[in-house]
Structure 1
Amino acid sequence: MGSSQGSSLSANVAGLVEGSGIDTLPVYVKELIAGGAAGAFAKTAVAPLERIKILLQTRTQGFHSLGVYQSLKRLLKHEGVPGFYKGNGASVLRIVPYAALHFMTYEQYRCWILDNYPVFGTGPVVDLLAGSAAGGTAVLCTYPLDLARTKLAYQVVDAKESLGNGSKSIVAQPRYSGIKNVLESVYREGGMRGLYRGVGPTLIGILPYAGLKFYIYEELKSRVSEENQRSIVMRLSCGALAGLFGQTFTYPLDVVRRQMQVENLQAGGGGARHASTWKGITTIVSEQGWRQLFAGLSINYIKIVPSVAIGFTAYDMMKSWLRIPPRQKTQSVSAA
C-alpha cells in the first residue's frame, strides 16, 4: 500500500512538473528551488528546539540553568505555543535563500572544481571544498537575517501574567517588533558593521561544518547500493550522521556567534566584550567556564538529527521531482 501511494504521489508530482513548464528552467534554477523548499521544510520542523537552543546559548534569564524539557515547559507557560515559533519567520526568510544558495552553489562549485582542478579527482575532497565554499557564500548573502532571527528569539515576554480580576497585566514591550524593525534598528545603531556582527565566528564555523556535512553525506551514500540510495530511511540516516559529526567539531564557534549577536541586549549593555572570535572564546571560558562553549549542544543534537536529515532528504526528493540530472551528469549539463 505504501509503495502504491508513493508511486501515485510521484506520478502526480511528475504530472504537475510537466504541466508547469518547469522542464524549461536552467538546472541551477531548479537547484535553487529544491534547496529553498528543503530548507524551509526542515527549519520549520525543528523551530521549537531552535528557540530553546538560542535561549540556552545566550544564558537568557530564567533559562540558563534549565534542561531541554524544563525549558520547553517554561517557555510554554510564559508565551504559549506561539513562543515556540518566535523568530521562525525570520528564520524561514533566511533559510529559504540560504539553503537555496547553499545547495545550488555547492553543485556549481563542485562542477567548477571538477572542470578546472582535475588534480583533486572526483572523490570526497571535491565535496569538502565545494561544500565549504558554498557555506561561506550562503552565509555572506543572508547573515543579517540570521542576526534578526537571533535577536527576536532572545526576547522573552511573559504573556500569561494576569491581575487579580483575571485580566492580563500590561507587560514591558519587547525591544524589537519584527524582522524589519530589527534590521532598521541595528543598521541605525551600527551601520553595515552592526548587521554583520558575529559573522567572523560564523564563517570560521561554517566553512568546516558545511564542507564536512556534504562530504560525510555523500561519502555515506556512496557506500550503499544505488538501489538503496533511493530509500528515504537511508537518506535520513546519512543526513543525521552528517549533521551530528559536522556540528560537534564547530559548535563552540556557534556559541560565540550567538553571544556576539545579543551583547547589546543583555543587562548593562555597554561596548562589545567579544572583539574577535578568539577573544570571545577566551572570555567565555574565563568568565562562564568551558562548559558554556557547549551550552545547548544536547538540544542541538536533538535538533540537528531531524533538521539536516530532513534537509538532505527533501533536497534529494525535490531534485528527483524536478528532474535535475544525476550529479555525475551535472558537469556536462552545466557546461552545455
Structure 2
Amino acid sequence: MSPKDSGDSLKDEGSRLQVTLAGATAGLISRFVIAPLDVVKIRLQLQPHSLSDPLLSSRLDQLRGGPIYKGTLRTMQHIVRHEGLPGLWKGNVPAELLYVCYSAVQFTTYRTTTQLLRAVFEQDSLPQAAESFVCGATGGAAATAVTYPLDLLRTRFAAQGNDDRVYPNLRRAIRQIYRDEGLRGFFRGLGPGVAQIVPYMGCFFAFYETLRPVLGPLDLPFSSGTAVAGTIASVAAKTVTFPLDLVRKRIQVQGPTRGRYVHKNIPEYKGGAVGTFRTILRMEGMRGLYRGLTVSLVKAAPASAVTMWTYERALRFYEGVWERFELRW
C-alpha cells in the first residue's frame, strides 16, 4: 500500500517544488478570502481603548484619537461607511505577497525538517506529536523571518485611513521606511513575531496531525474532515499565543508615523516586546492584551480551513500536472 493509500500525512507527499507551489497557491487564495477580517483584526488590535472601557475619555478625546471600534460587524460597517468597500482590503498587495511567500517557505521548511528528523532518528523513535511540533515551529519561524517586512507593510497599510494617508503606494512605503527608519524599520516587532509563531505553528501542526487521521475520513455536508481538523487546531493555538500577536502589531506601527494612522492615540512603547507587554497590561489591563481576539478566532477558522483544504487539492493538481508532463515526454 502506498503512503497515499495509507492516509500518510501531507509532509510525506509531493516533490519539493510541488509542495512549494501548493503552499503558495493555498496562501494566495486564503489571504483574499479572509482579507476583510484581517483588516478589522488589525484595527481592533491597535485600538488602545474601546467603548466598553469604564475610564474612556471625553468625546473630544475620542475624536482626536480616531474612531472607537466595538465588535467585528460594527467595525466592518464603520470602515465601509467611511472608507468604502475597498477599505476592507487595505494592505492586500503586500498581504498577498506575504501569504504566498509565507506559505511556500512554511510548507517547504516543514517538509524538509521532517525528512531531516527522520534521517537523524530511527523510524518511529520520535513521537508523532513531537515531530509535528518541531517541524511546525521550524517552518513558522523560518517563514516569519523571511517575510517579516511584508507583514509590517501589511499592518501599516491596514492601519491608515483615507485622510492624510501615510503611504500612497507600496513602492513609496518601502522608500519612506528605509529613508526614515533604516533597514531595522522593516523588522520592528520581529522578536514577538517569532516568539508567537514558534508555539503557534508547533501547536497547530501537532493538533492538526493528531486530528487529521481521526476527522479526515468524515464525510460532512458543508466541509471536509481535514478542514475541521485545521479549524480546531488553529483556534486552539491562536488563543494561547494571541497577546504576542497584539504586541507585535503595536510595535509595527511605532516610529515617526505613529500618530498618523486611523488611531492617532497609539502610545509610544519602550523596552522592546517585554516593555510593550508591561505597558499594555498596566494601562489597559489583561483585556488589553486580547483586543481583537474574537475576530482573530473567526478569521483563523476559515483561513486555516481554506489553506489546508486548498493546499492538499493544489498538491494533487500539481502532482497530476507533473505526471501528465512526464508521460508526454
TM-score, scaled to structure 2: 0.81
Matches of 2:171 and 2:119 in 1, distance apart? Answer: 42
Q: Is 1:296 the counterpart of 2:292 in the alignment?
A: yes
Contact 1:263–1:269 (CA under 8 A) maintained in structure 2: no
Instruction: Read off the aligned partner of 1:43 and give its amino acid letter.
Output: R
Q: Is 1:84 the counterpart of 2:88 in the alignment?
A: yes
Specify whether residues 243 and 98 from structure 1 end up closer, same or farther in structure 2 by C-alpha distance, changes over 3 A only: same
Matches of 1:225 and 1:173 in 2, distance apart? Answer: 49
Contact 1:144–1:183 (CA under 8 A) maintained in structure 2: no
Matches of 2:301 and 2:238 in 1, distance apart? Answer: 10
Q: Is 1:201 the counterpart of 2:192 in the alignment?
A: yes
1:109 aligns to what?
113
Offset at residue 190 of structure 1 (A): 2.1
Identity among equivalent pairs (%): 29
2:74 aligns to what?
70
Contact 1:131–1:213 (CA under 8 A) maintained in structure 2: yes
Q: Is 1:41 the counterpart of 2:46 in the alignment?
A: no
Q: Is 1:153 the counterpart of 2:158 in the alignment?
A: yes
**How big is each residue's C-alpha offset from its partner over 1:85-144, in whole Å with a ceiling of 9 and x where there is no partner?**
011111001110111110111011111111113385251111100110011111111100
Offset at residue 215 of structure 1 (A): 1.2
**How big is each residue's C-alpha offset from its partner over 1:222-258, in whole Å with a ceiling of 9 and x where there is no partner?**
22476869x9511111111011011011000000000
Match of 2:230 among 235, 239, 242: 239
Contact 2:234–2:301 (CA under 8 A) maintained in structure 1: yes
Matches of 2:266 and 2:217 in 1, distance apart? Answer: 57
1:275 aligns to what?
271
Specify whether residues 173 and 276 from structure 1 end up closer, same or farther in structure 2 by C-alpha distance, changes over 3 A only: closer
Offset at residue 54 of structure 1 (A): 0.4
Matches of 1:184 and 1:174 in 2, distance apart? Answer: 15
1:127 aligns to what?
132
TM-score, scaled to structure 1: 0.79
Query: CA RMSD of the aligned region, Å?
Result: 2.3
Greater mean deviation of Cα atoms: 74-83 or 116-125 = 116-125
Q: Is 1:316 the counterpart of 2:312 in the alignment?
A: yes
Aligned length: 284
1:266 aligns to what?
258
Specify whether residues 156 and 120 from structure 1 end up closer, same or farther in structure 2 by C-alpha distance, changes over 3 A only: farther
Offset at residue 62 of structure 1 (A): 4.4
Q: Where in structure 1 are there 5+ consecutive unaligned residues?
A: 1-25, 158-171, 325-336
1:217 aligns to what?
208
Aligned with 1:219: secondary structure? helix
Aligned with 1:223: secondary structure? helix
Q: Is 1:137 the counterpart of 2:142 in the alignment?
A: yes
Offset at residue 269 of structure 1 (A): 9.2
Q: Is 1:284 the counterpart of 2:255 in the alignment?
A: no
Contact 1:136–1:203 (CA under 8 A) maintained in structure 2: yes
1:187 aligns to what?
178
2:11 aligns to what?
none
Q: Where in structure 2 are there 5+ consecutive unaligned residues?
A: 1-13, 49-64, 321-329
Instruction: Read off the aligned partner of 2:279 and give its amino acid letter.
Output: T
Contact 2:218–2:224 (CA under 8 A) maintained in structure 1: no
Contact 1:102–1:134 (CA under 8 A) maintained in structure 2: yes
Contact 2:66–2:265 (CA under 8 A) maintained in structure 1: no
Offset at residue 266 of structure 1 (A): 3.0
Instruction: Read off the aligned partner of 2:137 and give its amino acid letter.
Output: S
Specify whether residues 155 and 271 from structure 1 end up closer, same or farther in structure 2 by C-alpha distance, changes over 3 A only: closer
Contact 2:218–2:225 (CA under 8 A) maintained in structure 1: no
Contact 1:55–1:63 (CA under 8 A) maintained in structure 2: no
Offset at residue 274 of structure 1 (A): 3.5
Offset at residue 301 of structure 1 (A): 1.0
**How big is each residue's C-alpha offset from its partner over 1:288-334, in whole Å with a ceiling of 9 and x where there is no partner?**
2221100000001111110011101111111222228xxxxxxxxxx
**How big is each residue's C-alpha offset from its partner over 1:206-227, in whole Å with a ceiling of 9 and x where there is no partner?**
0010111111111101224768
1:327 aligns to what?
none
Specify whether residues 123 and 80 from structure 1 end up closer, same or farther in structure 2 by C-alpha distance, changes over 3 A only: same
Aligned with 1:70: secondary structure? helix
Instruction: Read off the aligned partner of 2:91 and give its amino acid letter.
Output: G
**How big is each residue's C-alpha offset from its partner over 1:159-198, in whole Å with a ceiling of 9 and x where there is no partner?**
xxxxxxxxxxxxx430101222222211112222111010
